[in-house]
Amino acid sequence: MKKIIIAIGIATGLFGCASNAVNYNPAQFSSENYQQNVASSIEYADNFVDFDQRHIPQASLNAEDFSLLLSADVSFNQGVYSQAAGKYYYLANKYQDPRLIYKAIICFEHSSSTAEDYGKLNLLIKQLLVAAPTSNTAHLFGVRVDLEQNNLDKAKQDLNAVIKADPSKTRAVLLFLSTMISSNIISEAKPSLSQFAAYIVKKYSSYPEALLFASIAYSINADQTGLLANLDLINARYPNWEIPTYWSASILAKNNNLPLLTTMITHEMQQTVNPSSTLQNLYIATLVRNESIAVANQYIESGLQLKPNDGNMLVNQAIIQYKLGNNPHVINSLLKAESQGVRLDGTLDLALASLYDLNNHNESALQYYQSAGSSNPILTTATNIGILRIYFDTNKIQAANQYIENMAKVAKLNPRDSALLKLSIYSEVERYELAYQLVAQNIKLYRSDKTFTYLYASLSGLTGRTEQAIKAYKKYIQLNPNDPVGYNDLGFLLADKTSHYLQAYDYAHKAYSMSPKDPAVLDTLGWANFKLKQYAQAESYIYPAYQQTQDYDTAQHLKQVYLAQGKTAEANKVILITPQLQQLQFEQTLADQSMLILMYYQFGLDLAK
């Protein structure tokens, strides 16, 4: 499903095209082949406006705006549309030149993710209609505006004008319209959308993209009758063309229309004698979204009885078994899928690694973490965490150090940043003495460095070197007086490890004045009040900190505050999440996230929720 969802993402975000010829080979409608048509859309988008070049003037920019245009063009040509969008938007509004407006439209079509972005996109389209009303580009973009204004006749006229200009591009134009209406069309357009779809299907009946457009339109309008009837036409004419189903599914999932999504996929499965693995995945994903786990499990088991070595279905089995809590069965299914050559860009290895990790099978976990990281750079962060945790848990410090040094080398870190990387990892796995020895070796070299000074202070405190920590924190405060962390940490150290409670309170209150909502600051100020026997005040700060974090130390502080006030019942209700339990929760979370990534690659992001 992953590749199909990528294709849908391209189709809904870019300007699509298809083959220029009306005649076609049915093989092109296989999902893999049709994706090539969609993926070539950018090239066609560039060519599409060529026949408008002579009708659209170039702006004569002021000297001060020329460098901005050059910068925008560089980002545009590199495909970094989000960086170019704002620059073109400024220039388009200032000069009202159709070429600048058009480029701004392309950028926002590619990168829009907020209501503000879509508002700018709609404004740009309207500007283009004013700046170049007779251009084919304006006619094509005008279709969307016409539909949003429920001007059905004008939408027909604009579409026909574009197709008349170059009939050989009809399929490309219809696919372009499909991408355009998929992207945030406003609700006001829905009454005319189904009528326009019916018109396109009738007038351009010989073009498959007419039916694609109709499927998308009916999905947007949640028109079950129209959608199912249209898909039946597609199945009859182009039996191996599944893109319309996936595209419609993506829209329905995005709109959270689970009932129609379920109805559509169930209908397609009933109409298909030999459903592809992708369609089967979509069906199972829909059942997962519907929480129909038992139905999904029954379907998978039936499929595996017929084809016991179906790697794709074995992955589905693993996902369902994970949801049922049968981890040994999950591992077994994934191993079988792997033996059939299924890797899913390393996500299967990551899932196996995290499951072995959860069950304390360190060597197997290490092997699969390494395999996942080498297979897919996107997984590197997760695999690094897993590998280093295992090294430290099994006390393989030399191996951990070598691994961290390799990370620093790959990232091309300088000596300072390499040391900081190692310090952060040591601290994260609570190897505080190791971290202290490293920071102590470097502090003279970086004596005026804020970060090193802070870490020297913090690690001195964490390793029992209290007086040294106090001096280092005071130096850090001098170097960085606007950081509440320095005041907070020093306040807590004084309250927890010394009898200088009034000084602790002063430092904690200073941090509170700078960051009054930080739970760490609230806990420190509360703890200082506790040491000063101001228990009601202590409770007023520590309780909200505990509510925010459920942190083990904060929970212990709250429990002591309650007991000091004789509130035994409240003290007994405080939940103490021990470090050991936190570790188990972390391992479970890593396994959960790894399985979600596997689901994304198997089903598609929209359907993996």
CA nearest neighbour of 126 among 107, 111, 104, 110: 104
How far apart are alpha carbons 202 and 166 in whole angstroms? 20
Q: What is the pLDDT of residues 286-339, one digit of tens each?
A: 999 888 999 999 999 999 999 999 999 999 999 999 999 998 999 999 999 999
For residues 261-272, average pLDDT: 92
Instruction: Using DSSP, state whether 387 is helix, strand or coil.
Output: helix
Res. 22: pLDDT tops 80: no
Question: By mean pLDDT, which of 234-248, 352-366, 493-507, 512-526 is the weakest?
Answer: 234-248
For residues 592-597, average pLDDT: 88
For residues 539-556, average pLDDT: 91
Res. 387: pLDDT tops 90: yes
Residue 150, judged by CB atoms within 10 A of its CB (0-12, 13-18, 19+), counts as middle
Highest mean pLDDT among 62-76, 139-153, 269-283, 478-492: 478-492
Res. 5: pLDDT tops 80: no
Res. 1: pLDDT tops 80: no
Residue with tokens 């760490």: 520
Residue 328, judged by CB atoms within 10 A of its CB (0-12, 13-18, 19+), counts as exposed
Res. 15: pLDDT tops 60: no
Residue with tokens 């807590």: 492
pLDDT band at 48; cut points 50, 70, 90 = low
CA nearest neighbour of 268 among 276, 536, 50, 13: 276
Residue 264: the pLDDT is: 95
Task: Return the higher-pLDDT residue of 80 and 33.
Answer: 80
pLDDT band at 140; cut points 50, 70, 90 = confident
CA nearest neighbour of 603 among 232, 347, 429: 347
- The mean predicted confidence, pLDDT, of the chain is 86
pTM for this prediction: 0.73
Residue 10: the pLDDT is: 34
How far apart are alpha carbons 131 and 8 in whole angstroms? 32
Res. 587: pLDDT tops 90: no
At position 192, the amino acid (one-letter code) is: S
Residue 469: the pLDDT is: 96
pLDDT band at 189; cut points 50, 70, 90 = low
For residues 337-358, average pLDDT: 94
Question: By mean pLDDT, which of 31-45, 147-161, 410-424, 444-458 is the weakest?
Answer: 31-45
pLDDT band at 583; cut points 50, 70, 90 = low
The tokens describing 99, both together, are 């070429």
Res. 504: pLDDT tops 60: yes
Encode burial over 8-19: b for 16+ CB neighbours within 10 A, e otherwise. bebbbbbbbbbb
Res. 254: pLDDT tops 80: yes
pLDDT band at 14; cut points 50, 70, 90 = very low
Cα three-residue angle 572-578-584, rounded to 5 degrees: 130
Q: What is the pLDDT of residues 518-531, one digit of tens each?
A: 999 999 999 999 99
Residue 55: the pLDDT is: 56
Domains (range + CATH), the chain = 482-577 (1.25.40.10)
Residue 78: the pLDDT is: 83
Task: Return the higher-pLDDT residue of 137 and 53.
Answer: 137
Percent of the chain with pLDDT over 70: 87
Encode burial over 109-138: b for 16+ CB neighbours within 10 A, e otherwise. bbbbeeeebbebbbbbbebbbebbeebbbb
How far apart are alpha carbons 514 and 25 in whole angstroms? 69
Residue 13: the pLDDT is: 33
At position 343, the amino acid (one-letter code) is: R
